[in-house]
A and B are shown apart, each in its own frame.
Chain A
Amino acid sequence: MEKTTASLEESDVSIYASDEINTRLTTDEKIDFYRQMLRIRHFEDRSLHSYQQGKIAGFLHLYSGQEAIAVGTVSLMGKEDQLITAYRDHGFALALDMGMNECMAELYGKITGCSKGKGGSMHFFAPDKNFWGGHGIVAGQVPLGAGIAFALKYQKIKGCCLCFLGDGATNQGSFYETLNLASLWDLPVVFVIENNGYSMGTKIERHSIGRPLARRAETVDMDWDMCNGHHLYEVRTKIAAVMKRAQTENRPTLLEISTYRYRGHSVSDTGLSYRKKSEIEEYRETKDPITLFYNQLEKEGLIDEKAAKNIDKITHKEAEDAAKFADYSPYPTTEELTRDVYWEEDHPESNTSKGTIFFE
């Protein structure tokens, strides 16, 4: 088994900056990564504001603090690579270039939402962008990710499935079961643990024994690795390597990325009862992925404050406009309640079934 890094020690960013996967990036691409991360940050800030205004119902799991992971990962996806994640899904959706309008409208429960207001925050999908959700049950998406990889291999398509989960998901049975199956069947899947240190409000020290979590792959002879999630370059380097293993060798990997979320588990959680404010501030000051990447780009002479301010303004406006769009969009009509339940009911021209399918 290959273990390229075995500790969560602060890595040397320059190693990753000089990695070919990153040196080959154009200035425009790098600036765009910065824009994408800001885009996610502003979307999440705006959605929190809308939630506080009472415009969004239910749960809202914000990605703020984890942006480099989604943007870094998606930047490496080819047209046959697929992605699936859990309920903290806005970051991936936006990194996969879903529109802010359709995402915000989904949060508002509007018909113009990406799932017509039927899925909500936890259930964004965009199969045309190789995005398979957005899944609400902890680790419920893990077997699906293996199935997506299975489908690629079955059809002899050279691609892989990137299957994201949180640290809390690593204690679910379906996670272990799927690790075994993926390794046993040589599936082209990458399991990525976004370890933000908390399973809801339960700190990792209280929810899991055995570190790193990724080491759990050893029991099924699967490769594993560690990564710092706050440096976009490092994310790209590590993700590129494990994607290649999946694509070229049909071998899965379990990659653990350490990260942090500024907000609570969902917005009803202030995130302050089980952790100190100083912990949040420390991450913000030393590891904020957007700030770090700005510093990096500045060091490379690619960005200055003025340019950054301009990007900030544009992405902020995009989020504000999305909120307006969501506000002005209509709610689904009553008929929508029973649409999209069954393919067959939505395609009467091809419906071969008889009888009643919806009941009183």
Chain B
Amino acid sequence: MPVIYYRDALNAALDEEMIRDDRVFIMGEEVAEYNGAYKVTKGLLDKFGSQRMLDTPISESAFSGLGIGASMMGLRPVIEFMFWSFTYVAFDQIFNNAANIRYMSGGLVNVPIVIRGPANGGTGVGATHSHTPENYAASTPGIKVVCPVTPYDAKGLLKTAIRDNDPVCVMENTLLYGMTGEVPDEEYLIPLGKADIKKEGLDITFIAHGRAVLTCLKAAEILEAEYEIDAEVVDLRSLRPLDEETICDSVKKTNRVVLVEENKPYCGTDAQIAYIIQDKAFDYLDAPIKRISAVDAPQIYSPVLEKEQIPYPQRVVQTALSIL
């Protein structure tokens, strides 16, 4: 199976969906002539032309709203945000308009839009550029949220998102764009709302999304090598819809769970997951549910401390050991 970069997997998804459906167009800052701030859209301008590949001014409220308006008319825009942090100046468009228009119109108007871009810390760009608003997006009825970690998942989920008739937020990660993974040549789709067990195990469950999945996989390796502990790693992939079944099945199997996310703790996605587990698998728990999140402060610039702020494998290992 070919091994490709995460950014190229996204590129392939966009390419294939633009060929498949001429209502799909891409809009955002630097997406066309610059080939994308992270080269995710490389080559697409040459292939599809400037009518379908639109460089925008730095004007997030206008271009995201424009995309939403176009989607109401039946087009299928893919809006790239250079950072999810920049959606904060387009908040009204995404969280009022995209999220609510179908509901407020009694189901008469749909908003089949994809909003994608990186949502992560860990790159030394300071607090304003390091937001991880997946919890906020997922807490908004009307919106769907996916956080792919592998190139395979990135391609399959983005393709599904583009075909979805509801607004889908795709949260990527600048630290993942340069990672590689196997992606088949044949077309495939990954349904929203389906978690993936990235490593099977019997002793403890790690539940994570996005890059935190890699942190958990590394922690699982350490636990296996140094402590003979067999950890299971559940990658949520999709936060809304959410695969409660896979979460609960894993907890029922291992009876211990650590939730790991790179977002801040207060009302993070894992707070909801913890609620679900205690509600649906309470009798299977042999220890309290543990959570690891980013240290609860604005994202620090200082590179050494930022590494400490975001969950890292040893923190996961130590937390796991505390309940084993």
Contacts and interface: CB of A to CB of B under 8 A. Distances in A.
A115 B108 contact: yes
A147 B70 contact: yes
Nearest to B75: A151
Contact of B25 (A116, A143, A154, A360): A154
B164 A344 contact: yes
Given A143-B66, A144-B69, A177 B166 contact: no
Interface string A116-132: 11111001011100001
Interface string B54-97: 10110101111111111111110000000000000100110011
Contacts of B233: none
B193 interface: yes
Contacts of B66: 143-144, 146-147, 150, 178, 181
B165 to A, nearest CB: 4
A358 B67 contact: no
Interface string A344-360: 10110000111111111
B243 A132 contact: no
B264 interface: no
Contacts of A148: 69-70, 72-73
A177 B59 CA distance: 6
Nearest to B56: A181
A133 interface: yes
Of A82, A114, A135, A356, the most chain B CB neighbours within 10 A belong to A356
Given A143-B66, A181-B59, A353-B192, A132 B106 contact: no
Nearest to B65: A143
The range of chain A's interface size is 35 or more
B73 A343 contact: no
B109 interface: yes
Contacts of B193: 353-357
Interface in B96-140: 96-97, 101-110, 112
Contacts of B11: none
A177 B245 CA distance: 44
A341 interface: yes
A140 interface: yes
A147 B73 contact: yes
A347 B110 CA distance: 13
With most chain A CB atoms within 10 A of its CB, the pick from B61, B104, B106, B245 is B106
B143 to A, nearest CB: 9
B102 A174 contact: no
A113 interface: yes
A7 B285 CA distance: 75
B318 interface: no
Interface in B37-58: 51, 54, 56-57
Contacts of A147: 65-73
A339 interface: yes
18 contacts: A115-B104, A116-B106, A125-B101, A137-B92, A143-B62, A146-B62, A147-B66, A150-B69, A150-B70, A173-B89, A180-B57, A341-B141, A343-B112, A354-B241, A355-B192, A355-B194, A355-B195, A357-B240
In the complex, the 10 A-B pairs of residues with the closest C-beta atoms, listed nearest first = A147-B69, A143-B65, A355-B193, A151-B73, A177-B62, A144-B69, A340-B107, A115-B106, A125-B105, A116-B106
Given A144-B65, A151-B73, A154-B25, 12 more contacts: A125-B104, A125-B109, A127-B108, A132-B69, A134-B104, A143-B66, A144-B97, A147-B66, A150-B70, A184-B57, A353-B164, A356-B243
